[in-house]
């Protein structure tokens, strides 16, 4: 990794350009002088400002919070979802992670279930539909319960919080050679399976979410563990084992 603090980085950027989901795309090459203090997305902003000054179409890329919590900044950088730093989203990646003279390849997440909408933006609505299939708790409206009204073992609370850290970015899908969404789905199933609030809908949740995941065209898990390595929140594949148990249990009980 580069330790640059003051000097400018001279970079060659190969950025994916694609006008729509039904058109072919290709890389477009640009040269840029960038400050090591810039975030990766700020660097892309500079690229787009230069293009606009030249009267050319800027690159489309997705972002929102730029604080590492919304999951929208889905880019593959030099072959790695979210780039070279572990447990770091693209928006939290800084140019000091690169060296002067580097060639950087920037492309969208690749998966059949994630069609490219334009340039670096993909359609991640399949993840939303998995959540809609059961990743929630149905409750009547009214005053909230006291926080300590339902005692929860600390181990379960900790595991549920770890699973709930998933931001739904889809890096697990992009990293998996099978384009599986098992880690995402497992995190959402595990989060509520570990808590008493999730118990009433435990069976329908496991069945609904796993079946929706399959219906969306994601691949199957074959234990490469690339998903956990690419996850910016460090979600453990232990959740996949838990989801498999939940699905088997639900399949038996639903009969």
Q: Where are the domains of the chain?
A: 9-118, 124-138+152-253
Proportion of the chain above pLDDT 70, given as a percent: 98
Q: Whole-model pTM?
A: 0.91
Q: Which of 100, 103, 77, 101 has its CA nearest to residue 90?
A: 77
CA angle (38, 29, 93) in 5-degree steps: 25
Residue 150: predicted pLDDT = 84
Class of domain 124-138+152-253: mainly alpha
Q: Which bin fits 22, alpha (ψ -120 to 50), beta or left (φ > 0)?
A: alpha
Token pair of 34, please?
């960038």
State the Cα angle at 133 between 130 and 137, rounded to 5°.
110
pLDDT at position 58: 97
Question: In the predicted model, is pLDDT for residue 86 greater than 50?
Answer: yes
Read off the pLDDT of each residue in 53-61 and give the average, rounded to a whole number: 97
Residue 235 and residue 228 in contact, taking contact as beta carbons nearer than 8 Å: yes
**Is pLDDT of 5 > 60?**
no
Measured distance CA(87)–CA(59) in Å, rounded: 26
- Please tell us whether the domain made up of 9-118 is placed in CATH 3.10.20.30: yes
Which residue did the predictor score with more confidence, 179 or 148?
179
């Amino acid at each position: 990794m580069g330790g640059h603090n003051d000097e400018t980085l001279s970079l060659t950027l190969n950025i994916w350009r694609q006008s729509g989901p039904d058109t072919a795309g290709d890389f477009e090459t640009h040269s840029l002088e960038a400050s090591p203090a810039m975030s990766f997305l700020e660097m892309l902003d500079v690229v787009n400002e230069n293009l606009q000054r030249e009267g050319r179409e800027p690159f489309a890329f997705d972002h929102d919070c730029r604080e590492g919590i919304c999951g929208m900044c889905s880019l593959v950088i030099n072959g790695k979802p979210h780039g070279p730093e572990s447990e770091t989203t693209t928006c939290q990646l800084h140019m000091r992670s690169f060296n002067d003279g580097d060639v950087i390849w920037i492309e969208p997440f690749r998966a059949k279930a994630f069609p490219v909408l334009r340039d670096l933006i993909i359609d991640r609505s399949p993840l939303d539909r998995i959540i809609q299939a059961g990743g929630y708790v149905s409750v009547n409206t009214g005053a909230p319960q006291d926080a300590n009204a339902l005692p929860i073992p600390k181990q379960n609370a900790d595991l549920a919080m770890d699973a709930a850290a998933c931001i739904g970015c889809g890096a697990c899908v992009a990293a998996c050679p099978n384009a599986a969404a098992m880690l995402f789905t497992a995190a959402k199933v595990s989060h509520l399976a570990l808590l008493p609030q999730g118990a009433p809908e435990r069976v329908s949740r496991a069945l609904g979410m796993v079946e929706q995941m399959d219906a969306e065209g994601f691949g199957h898990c074959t234990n490469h563990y690339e998903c956990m390595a690419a996850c910016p929140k460090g979600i453990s594949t232990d959740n996949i084992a838990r989801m498999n148990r939940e699905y088997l249990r639900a399949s038996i009980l639903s009969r």
